[in-house]
Structure 1
Amino acid sequence: MRLTVLYGALFVATGALLLALTYLLTAHVLPLAGVEPPGSPASPAPAPLQGAAPPLDAPNAPPSPEQQSADGLRLLPIASGIALAVMAVVALGLGWVMAGRMLHPLREMAATTRDMSARDLHQRLDVRGPGDEVKDLADTFDGLLARLEASFKAQRRFVANASHELRTPITFERSVLEVALADPGAGTGDLRAACEQVLVANRRQERLIDALLDLARGQQGVAHRRPLDLAVLADACLDTADGTHDVRVAADLATAPAAGDPRLVERLVTNLVDNALRHNVPGGEATVRTGVCEGRAVLRVTNTGRVIVPEEAGLLFEPFRRPGPPRTAGDGGLGLGLSIVSAIAEAHGAALSATPRAEGGLDVRVSFPPPAAGEGGSAAAPIPPPSTPRRYRQRA
């Protein structure tokens, strides 16, 4: 209705303007010039009779050209107004039909959207037709629905996996305690052993909850950014890395200034290094590099390990998903390390990629955007150099 009224109002306004210009041109700019008809041959007029009345004008004498022009100007606005009114009705009717045809895809989109819910996001608008603004809107909305569907699926999968991960140690703890209490002859040593098993499972629960909290913090974004150096964080991480793995670690640490939350970025570096050590082969290698490439601070972690196909690499950053055989309770992994890395990288606007190596293992690269001008404040403390003055170091 609004489109129809708008079309009709525009038509009436432009039509009235056109009629006004036509009237002005006719009345003032282009006056009608009278054309006198040729006169008859002159003949002597008969002498009037004595006592006769003067001749009267003929009652049917044609009007003069000036009178015709004046009458035409008076009738022009009336006729034009009638024509404008008729055409306004026609324009409103045509505008209603055209507006309905143009808005029909939008009505279908609205009806389809109303029928959707969180459980059937697989539906799509799938608007056919030329590539106009309506189809662009429908395609954009379809893309949004695809992302929402993937997000809802990931959320449901994450909740199910997290529930399983939290339920498993609780079930194990309850079983250990029930077995110990059900044995009437259990002594102090047996009860102590059961309590130690429960404590081990409890520590695993704490690690899982901490990891979930880190994942949530990473997904919330970074409120306050501070200057940091990836080389400093990587150097500190290598100094405290788990030395129980039979892996040779090499580091090539060059200054890589960035900005962000130091605690979250430190967790990112720690998870990448821990992943490179944990998912390796006996006697394997892991390399940590930092530097600047095209103005961006880059962290690169490579390791040896089993061969990973490209299809598996795309699942590495999903929570509780990793390639290889099913995870066991004794391998120490939670399945959240790389998903936390992905969340932290996204929160910092960093580009993250994981490329399988042909000889086995992964090549993970995180590229942070350059710090903005004045980011972190002028009073920020200077970035200290790595604790190791050498550019390259190794740890067996």
Structure 2
Amino acid sequence: MTGATAPNAPGDQNRPTGPGATATGVPRRPASGLRMPRRTVRLRLTMLFGGLFLISGAGLLTLNYALVSHATQGAVSYQGANGLSGSIDGLPPGQRPEHPTQGGPQLSASQLDKQIQLLQSRALQQRADNMNALLAQSGIALAVMAVVSVALGWVIAGRVLGRLRTVTSAARDISATDLHRRLALPGPDDELKELGDTFDELLARLESSFQAHRQFIANVSHELRTPLARQRVLSQLAVSDPDATLDSLREAHHRVLVAGSQQERVIEALLTLARSQGGFETREPFDLAALTAQVLTTRSPEAESRGLTLHTHLTPAPTSGDPRLAERLITNLIDNALRHNTPQGTLEIRTTMNGPCPVISVANTGPKLPPAALERLFKPFQRLESERTSREEGLGLGLSIVQAIAEAHHATIEARTQPAGGLFIQVIFPACVSPRMQRLPVHSA
């Protein structure tokens, strides 16, 4: 029926009702109610400073109270109503001093004992009152100083965290478009200054990474746009030619296929680069010498066709990692040495052990290169075309893939130019790791 309400569930009668209750029965927090202050670092440091001062102050006052109590426990001073004064060192009531009075009336022994007992009780009461007063005054002083220490702690914590707020504000304001900004925190060389310098170094690395990323995207777009434009022009010319023949159309399609093959090479190289930078989770054992021998069986005919002389010295160099990526590393090293060589040149390939570390080295003859050009060669799409090769032979990704694979294996690359021309590149892998070790952290390029 319309307007009918369902009976309450078994637990509905226990749920609170009214304007302050929610549908689940949990009371809604009043919007205008008192809210606890946010537990900032400054507040926690202030409470820490105040708590430490309170604890240390209470300990100091307790120690002072104990020392005063111990010092006055055996000897208390008194001032009697009848003019008697002196000190009582815990004498029993029956023991009488030789000169209890000076110039006063002579008392009997019993009267003297009673007088001593009365003076002793008054002195003890006076000591107790003095100790209570000391305790009360110390408590008041501790409370006042605790409030002062909290206030001073708040001010000091604010001054100490001021530079940290600068870092926070800069991190909030800096975006991907203004990574050139730096904090340059002033002040002493302390932990906060070190934090600011570390943040500046992070910004520098991010700026370099963003610039490299933008440059990489621009290069990829250019590399893929060139064969696409070539394909479109070839197709348009073939279609618009009124005198096209079967041979001309076949030649146009052949050129289109060549441009498509170049696109495939670029995409395959990019996928290999991305896979190398992504790292791997499981290590497998492999031998650099065996992988190098496999690669040489497919590259020897090209070396012979170019008139190059191969010198190989392959000794076992076991290591672990991803053998497929390692094979790509070796292939790119050999291809780079083959393509960028001189006619009738030489190519030397070695695998060996440098202590516990396996090493592969490739040296070739070739044109002379300035030492400053080495760093460029390991960046994506960087070519020295006028000195090394034409665009058709290289994509500019070979050595960048080598670097990415080496970093995925935590290996070290050493490269140098040779005096007579050419390059010497060696990759030093870390000491052989057990294949049972998996999911090792990988540092991407």
- Specify the TM-score bucket, using the shorter chain as the normaliser: 0.7 to 0.9
Determine the C-alpha separation between the residues in 1 that align with 2:55 and 2:104. Answer: 59
Aligned to 1:358: 419
Q: Does 1:287 align with 2:348?
A: yes
Tell me whether 1:5 sits opposite 2:44 in the alignment.
Answer: no
Matched, 1:107 2:165: yes
Mapped contact 1:281–1:305 kept (Cα < 8 A): yes
The residue type equivalent to 1:287 in the other structure is: E
On the 8 A contact 1:273/1:301 being kept in 2, the answer is yes
Change (3 A) 1:330 1:33: closer
Quote how far apart the aligned CAs of 1:376 are.
7.9
2:442 corresponds to: none
Q: How many angstroms apart in 2 are the aligned matches of 1:347 and 1:201?
A: 32
Q: Which residue of 2 aligns with 1:342?
A: 403
1:347–1:321 distance in 2 versus 1, CA, 3 Å: same
Equivalent position to 1:264, from 307, 325, 350: 325
Within the alignment, does 1:162 sit opposite 2:220 as a pair? yes
Match of 1:198 among 244, 251, 256: 256
1:210 matched to 2:210: no
Shift of 1:28: 4.5
1:221 pairs, out of 259, 262, 279, with 279
Structure 1 residues 372, 255: closer, same or farther in 2, change over 3 A?
A: same
Give the partner amino acid of 2:373: E
Structure 1 stretch displaced more, 283-292 or 118-127: 118-127
Q: CA deviation at 1:29?
A: 6.1
Give the aligned partner of residue 230 of structure 1. 288
1:320-355 CA distances to partner (integer Å, 9 max, x unpaired)?
013342988653211000011011001111111211
Equivalent residue of 2:383, what SS?
coil
Q: Contact 1:253/1:290 (CA < 8 Å) preserved in 2?
A: yes
Q: Is the 8 A contact 1:218 1:264 kept in 2?
A: yes
**Contact preservation (8 Å) 1:256, 1:291:** yes
Q: 1:369 aligns with which of 411, 427, 430?
A: 430
Question: Which residue of structure 1 lines up, in the alignment, with residue 154 of structure 2?
Answer: 96
User: 1:202, 1:221 → 2: CA distance?
Assistant: 29
Aligned to 1:275, the other structure's residue is in SS state: helix
Q: Which amino acid aligns with 2:144?
A: V
SS in 1 for 2:410: coil
TM-score, length-scaled by structure 1: 0.86
For the residues of structure 2 that align with 1:43 and 1:240, how far apart are their CA atoms? 130
* 8 Å Cα contact 2:284-2:320 kept in structure 1: yes
**2-structure distance, mates of 1:296, 1:87:** 65
Cα distance in structure 2, aligned partners of 1:192 and 1:348? 46
Q: Structure 1 residues 244-253 or 187-196, which shifts more?
A: 244-253
Please point out which of 171, 176, 183 is paired with 2:234. 176
Q: Which SS does the other structure have where 1:310 is aligned?
A: coil
The answer to whether the 8 Å contact 2:231/2:256 transfers is yes
**Structure 1, 23-32 or 302-311: larger mean CA deviation:** 23-32
Helix, strand or coil at the partner of 1:369: coil
Q: Confirm or deny: 8 A CA contact 2:339 2:389 kept in the other structure.
A: no
Q: Say whether the 8 Å CA contact 2:266–2:395 is kept in structure 1.
A: yes
1:175-220 CA distances to partner (integer Å, 9 max, x unpaired)? Answer: 0110111111111111111001101111111111111111111111
1:20 and 2:78 equivalent? Answer: no
CA contact (8 A) 2:308 2:344 kept: yes
Cα root mean square deviation, aligned: 2.4
2:227 and 2:389 mapped to 1: Cα distance? 12
Gap change, CA 1:104 and 1:32, over 3 Å in 2? farther
Cα distance change, pair 276–215 in 1 and its aligned pair in 2 (3 A): same
Unaligned 5+ segments in structure 2 are 1-42, 78-84, 87-98, 107-114, 439-445
Given that 2:285 and 2:435 are in contact with CA atoms closer than 8 Å, whether structure 1 keeps it comes out as: no
Distance 2:311 2:151 in 1: 79
CA deviations on 1:140-193 (whole Å, 9 max, x unpaired) are: 222222211111111111110001000000000100110111111111111111
Equivalent in the alignment of 1:312: 373
Q: Structure 1 residue 64: deviation in Å?
A: 4.6
Aligned counterparts of 2:72 and 2:254: Cα–Cα separation in 1: 110
Q: Match of 2:363, SS?
A: strand
Q: Tell me the CA shift for residue 359 of structure 1.
A: 1.7
Q: 1:324 to 1:207 in 2, by over 3 A?
A: closer
> Does residue 384 of structure 2 align to residue 323 of structure 1?
yes
Query: Match of 2:246?
Result: 188
Q: State the distance in 1 between where 2:187 and 2:104 align.
A: 82
Distance 1:43 1:225, change over 3 A: closer
1:68 aligns with 2:110: no
Number of residues of Structure 1 aligned to a counterpart in Structure 2: 364
- 1:140 partnered with 2:198: yes
